[in-house]
Amino acid sequence: MKRMITPLAAGLIASAACHAAQPAVPLPTNRVVLVHGFLETGTSFKVMHKRLEARGADCLAPKLRPNDGRGGLDKLAARLKAEIDGHFGPKERISIVAFSMGGLVSRYYLQELGGADRCETFITISSPHHGTNAAWLYPSKGAVQMRPGSGFLEQLARSESKLDKIRVASFRTPLDLIILPTESSVWDRAENRSYLVALHPMMLTTRSVLDDVEQRLFPEPGAAP
């Protein structure tokens, strides 16, 4: 005698088969790289670093030297790649949060050194995507590369389509005295966010900025990507 399959059982079987055929939605990576800015060593990320680790993140905050960019931002990007590969391996998925000059160093790593293939989320904070006039005050090669209209910035503009598969955000303060003009942090490739923060370095300690970074790195279930 043949067993009868009830409509309910058939539905459950079909549903299970359907779910089995669908790939699992990838969880956000907990590997976060914090890339410091000009004349810094990464200590400016102290507050953010602590908060992200409390959320279970494995944070890497490499010290990129020379930190005045005298060898060029492209050389710092190569050092960044070596630090990331050494800490996480060459293929593991990562996210990057970069401050000021670190945003341009990170872009070179992502766009020119293959980093975009492994990056999920890229957040820049007060980075001079279109250069800063403050860079005219310092003579290093890296400072020259950060001046508006530099060949380095033009190269990044030509290859930024390599970021198409990455979630990108750019944070700025309209009161910035280092990124001049402050609109240089507005980047068409990114979701742009503006916070009324008094000083350039305070962008890394302001609670609203830190909350926004965390929400992007660790989105709540069901939240829009």
More confident position, 7 or 204: 204
- CATH of residue 191: 3.40.50.1820
Residue 181 lies in a domain: yes
Residue 145 lies in a domain: yes
**How far is residue 131's CA from residue 211's CA, in Å, rounded to a whole number?**
27
Residue 171 lies in a domain: yes
Provide the pLDDT confidence category of residue 224 given band limits of 50, 70 and 90: low
Residue 208 lies in a domain: yes
Other beta carbons within 10 angstroms of residue 94's beta carbon come to: 22
**Domain around 140:** 27-217
**How far is residue 10's CA from residue 164's CA, in Å, rounded to a whole number?**
42
Overall domain count for the chain: 1
Residue 223 lies in a domain: no
Residue 54 lies in a domain: yes
Residue 11 lies in a domain: no
pTM: 0.86
Tokens of 142: 């890296």
Cβ contact 218:196 at 8 Å: no
**How far is residue 175's CA from residue 24's CA, in Å, rounded to a whole number?**
43
- What does pLDDT average to over the chain? 90
Q: Is 72 helix (H, G, I), strand (E, B) or coil?
A: coil
Provide the pLDDT confidence category of residue 201 given band limits of 50, 70 and 90: very high
Q: For 107-155, how does the pLDDT look when each residue is reduced to its tens digit (9 = 90+)?
A: 999 999 999 999 999 999 999 999 999 999 999 999 999 999 999 999 9
Cβ contact 57:27 at 8 Å: no
Q: Is 163 helix (H, G, I), strand (E, B) or coil?
A: helix
Residue 191 lies in a domain: yes
Q: For 135-146, how does the pLDDT look when each residue is reduced to its tens digit (9 = 90+)?
A: 999 999 999 999
